[in-house]
Amino acid sequence: MIEVQHLTKRYGRVTAVDDVSFRVERGEILGFLGPNGAGKTTTMRILTGYMPASDGRAMVAGLDIFDKPIEAKRRIGYLPEAPPLYPDMTVREYVDFVARIKGVPSKERKDRVDTVMKRTHVADMADRHCAKLSKGYKQRVGLAQALIHNPDVLILDEPTAGLDPKQIIETRDLIRSLAGDHTIILSTHILPEVSQTCQRVVIINQGRVVAVDTPENLIARLKGAETMFVQVDAGGADVLPVLGAIPGVLGIVASDQRGVVGGFEVESERGTDIRRQLARTIVDRGWGLLELRPMRMSLEEVFLQVTTEERPDEPTNPAETITPAMVEPVPGVDSHE
Amino acid sequence: MNNTLAIARKELRSYFASPMGFVITGLFALLFGWFFYAYLSYFVRSSEQMMMGGGTPNVNQHMIAGLLQNAAVIILFVMPMITMRTYSEEKRSGTIELLLTSPVSDVEIILGKFFGAMGLYAAMLGVTLLYVAILFFLGNPEWKPVAAGYLGLLLMGGCFISVGLLVSSLTKNQIVAGISTFAVFLFLWVINWIGESAGPTGRQIVSYISITEHFDDFARGVIDTKHLVYYLSFITFGLFLTAKSVDSERWRG
Ligand SMILES: Nc1ncnc2c1ncn2[C@@H]1O[C@H](COP(=O)(O)OP(=O)(O)OP(=O)(O)O)[C@@H](O)[C@H]1O
Ligand SMILES: [Mg+2]
């Protein structure tokens, strides 16, 4: 549905986007991830026909955005980084105006405007001037604007920026419900957002693609091994050699000790699930098994590692040059700015 | 066509959503009214003298022509306020990103903005018609020269608007746009005076370029195709340059 080939954009001497290629299949949600200044907005602006690329091609819904801009734009809904609102229009007037210039037939227009305002939860502000909306409402009106002509492709630049937690969840749900009928690219700094909403992730750094994969694969690929965290009440007995003897265990580290209760990080070969073995061993000894959980490397670590990677010219297999850090996921934490 | 109309409507609405549109219209009406009063009292005095001398005073020739010429000067001052925000404000606030990613061509956007500004301008001229109506009520001027004069005002204003759009498309800052537009207008106006001190060929060239020079015949009630062609080509050229400017902005990013 969307195909980007060797896209390059130079602003004078600054190369904002450097030979970026990726595809998005129909009905898919693609997450566009990268630190500040990575080139996400620039790529999206090229895809939406706001500005031409210095090099390369972008096809949207089978149409080259540069050769057939009007036809292609008809199929794209775009939420720019800053919602493009006219301060002196009311929300309804604004959405109606956008419906007109996006070519919504006049017979359907009123219905579409109402439907979209309801769907993005701005109907209660319909007669408020855009200038007087809160940041979150502005963002939602921006989303309404992008959806008004029911486009095949949605390009959303940080759609949840500035929303409250409840709204973030509602917006993510909305975006997920739009997938299938719509093909979606969204950019974000919020990593859990990507694992929750996107089927695939493109990580870009300094204008280059450093990784493309599903969120799960990205996490898995960067891990050489699986790690379990176990908390055991061994009543003072020595736990390390016992657990270390379990087949498949590569290493074991005592991570925190509080009296008789000890926490251990048990590293095992990938693909072997040692949880049953671990549990049985501990219980058989008569120890108390207080906690047993897999330690996942969060997408945040993946992101940090991939984007601080020193050799971005090897995007296909960054795993080899990266030592995974074993840290727990930190849900809901914002970007690393 | 629909897109142009939608954008023109939006522009026109935005003029009157803020006090801007009313202030400009009011200011224009006030200045026009002041000139109207000055010309009327002058006309009344001079026509008394003229009648004593046996001549017949003509409202069209002796009053309306001069009044409209002065209106042209007021327009020169007021028009930058109308056009300064057209593009600058969209660029500053980022709404240009909406327009340029919509299935609308640059020409449709520019024409929409042009006709939006023309709409406001026409409304301003409409208000001044009330003053002129007083003349029809008191005396019996010919309506055709008056109509020709207003057509001339409309066309001349169109030229100013096309220049204003061009200047506005060059900057994000509407104040800069307003001041530069005013400077350009002033130049197009005073170019007459420069011409007068130049030689005969120089004078011809300059009077051809000057926007206000072409208005003189209209003010006298004469519609000459030469001037029509000049104004229409001027407007087209201005809008064409605006399109170029918008396009090159896109390439620069
Ligand atoms: N109009 C411009 N002129 C010159 N350089 C620009 C322009 N716009 C962006 N850049 C540069 O291009 C690079 C990419 O910017 P871009 O806005 O695409 O980043 P981003 O990934 O969207 O960042 P963020 O997460 O902060 O939104 C940056 O180095 C930026 O400074
Ligand atoms: Mg950005």
Q: What is the tens place of the pLDDT at every residue in B123-172?
A: 999 999 998 888 888 777 788 888 999 999 999 999 999 999 999 999 99
- pLDDT of A239 above 60: yes
CATH of domain A224-294: 3.30.70.100
Ligand 2 centre to CA of A45 (Å) is: 10
* Dihedral over Cα of B28, B33, B38, B40: its sign: positive
Nearest CA to ligand 1 atom 1: B253
Q: What pLDDT does A64 receive?
A: 93
B102, B113, B252: which to substitute to probe chain A, counting the most A Cβ within 10 Å?
Answer: B102
The pLDDT tens digits for A100-132 are 999 999 999 999 999 999 999 999 999 999 999
Quick check: B95 and A84 CB within 8 A? yes
- C-beta of residue A157 within 8 angstroms of C-beta of residue A41: yes
What ipTM is given for this predicted complex? 0.89
- Residue B253 CB–ligand 1 contact under 6 Å: yes
Quote the CA–CA distance of A72 and A144 in Å, as a whole number.
Answer: 19
- Percent of chain A scoring above 70 in pLDDT: 85
DSSP-H helix ranges across A148-226: 165-178, 191-197, 215-221
Non-local (6+) Cβ contacts of A181 within 8 A are A27
Q: Class of the A2-75+151-219+304-326 domain?
A: alpha beta
Q: Which of B55, B64, B253, B87 is nearest to B162 (CA)?
A: B87
Mean pLDDT of B3-21: 91
- Residues of A within 8 A of B253 (CB-CB) are 9, 11, 42, 45, 51
First to last CA, chain B: 27
Q: What is the pLDDT of residue B159?
A: 94
Amino acid at the residue A256 = D
Q: Which of chain B's residues have a Cβ under 8 Å away from the Cβ of A85? A: 93, 95
Q: Is the CB of A39 under 6 A from ligand 1?
A: yes
List, by residue range, all CATH 3.40.50.300 domains of chain A. Answer: 2-75+151-219+304-326
Are the C-beta atoms of A79 and A145 separated by less than 8 Å? yes
Ligand 1 close to Cβ of residue A56 (< 6 A): no
What's the gap in Å between the CA of A251 and the closest CA on chain B? Answer: 54
Pick the closest to residue B239 from B107, B68, B137, B51 (CA basis). B107
With CA atoms as reference, the chain B residue closest to A73 would be: B103
Q: Which two tokens stand for residue A72?
A: 């292609």
DSSP strands (E only) in chain A: 2-11, 14-24, 29-33, 55-60, 63-64, 76-79, 153-157, 183-188, 200-205, 208-213, 226-233, 249-258, 261-268, 288-295
Tell me the chain A residues in contact with residue B18 when contact means C-beta distances shorter than 8 Å: 88
Tell me which of A42, A51, A54 to substitute to probe ligand 1's pocket, judged by most ligand atoms within 8 Å of the beta carbon. A42
Residue A10: alpha-carbon gap to chain centroid: 25
Residue A37 Cβ contacting ligand 1 at under 6 Å: yes
The string of pLDDT tens digits covering residues A247-290 is 888 888 887 777 778 888 888 877 777 888 888 988 998 888 88
Q: Do the beta carbons of residue B102 and residue A102 sit within 8 Å?
A: yes
Query: Which residues surround the ion ligand 2 when the cut-off is CB under 5 Å?
Result: A 40-41, 81
- Asked whether residue A77 carries a pLDDT value surpassing 90, the answer given is yes
Express each pLDDT in B58-95 by its tens digit: 777 778 888 888 888 889 889 999 999 899 999 999 99
Among A143-157, A262-276, A277-291, B176-190, top mean pLDDT goes to A143-157
Residue nearest to ligand 1 atom 28, measured at CA: A37
Q: Is the distance from CB of A55 to CB of A132 less than 8 angstroms?
A: no
Question: Cα A163 to chain center, whole Å?
Answer: 16
How many A from CA of A153 to the centre of ligand 1?
A: 23
Distance CA(B236)–CA(B214), nearest Å, equals 16
Q: Is B169 within 8 Å of B246 (Cβ atoms)?
A: yes
Quick one: CA dihedral B121, B126, B128, B129, positive or negative?
Answer: positive
For residue A294, is it left (φ>0), alpha (ψ between -120 and 50) or beta? Answer: beta
